[in-house]
Chain A
Amino acid sequence: QKEVEQDPGPLSVPEGAIVSLNCTYSNSAFQYFMWYRQYSRKGPELLMYTYSSGNKEDGRFTAQVDKSSKYISLFIRDSQPSDSATYLCAMSAEGNEKLTFGTGTRLTIIP
């Protein structure tokens, strides 16, 4: 079993829809949770960063962490064609320099 599981998609939704992206993990030591957006042939861009459990909102993006279920989510409201990209979840344990990535979900927003 992988430490971090993420549905690779592809996921296609119409413009304006709410998008839900998810990751599950098995390592209970993970405390730091990140979502990266990666456009084709570009480097990953940090979207959201959350410590431990709870919600964090930034504009159209909301990140949720449920440590009891070992489940994290990223919600995108009012999705735009420019949101079309691969979304990677990543997480790390306290004091650990190493990030563990999910496989990434390819998202396409259809105009």
Chain B
Amino acid sequence: DTEVTQTPKHLVMGMTNKKSLKCEQHMGHRAMYWYKQKAKKPPELMFVYSYEKLSINESVPSRFSPECPNSSLLNLHLHALQPEDSALYLCASSTRQGAYNEQFFGPGTRLTVL
């Protein structure tokens, strides 16, 4: 299994809703990432988990809350989002063996905040 899966594919939510995005990989990778991508822009890093511990938080607003329950799973909990948070949310993973940072991306969750 050499892929990163993400659910749901699409999500529409109101500004008062609470929802979660899920990411899963079975490649034995020990680093997992959340990115946000707006149209015609490159991915922007949000969070990095290394060996299930949060290692990077790119000053992301607290309405985004990441969670890494185990080495294969990564969640992103969403609460009180704003319309400008509408974007493609991408999960990625990498081996973290040696100095490798070859990151493999999932297909993304397209989020619309009304």
Which residues of chain A have a CB within 8 Å of any CB of chain B?
31-32, 34, 36, 41-46, 49, 88, 90, 92, 94-99, 101-104
Contacts and interface: CB of A to CB of B under 8 A. Distances in A.
A41 B99 contact: no
18 contacts: A34-B102, A43-B6, A43-B88, A43-B90, A43-B105, A44-B90, A46-B102, A46-B104, A46-B105, A88-B43, A94-B99, A96-B101, A98-B48, A99-B101, A99-B103, A102-B42, A103-B41, A104-B41
Contacts of A101: 42-43
Contacts of B40: 104
A99 B4 CA distance: 18
Nearest to A40: B39
Nearest to B44: A101
Interface residues of B, number: 28
The 9 A-B pairs with the shortest beta carbon distances in the complex, nearest first, are: A101-B42, A43-B105, A43-B107, A92-B101, A43-B108, A44-B105, A49-B102, A94-B99, A97-B48
A45 B108 CA distance: 12
A101 B55 CA distance: 20
Interface in B66-113: 88, 90, 94, 96, 99-108, 110
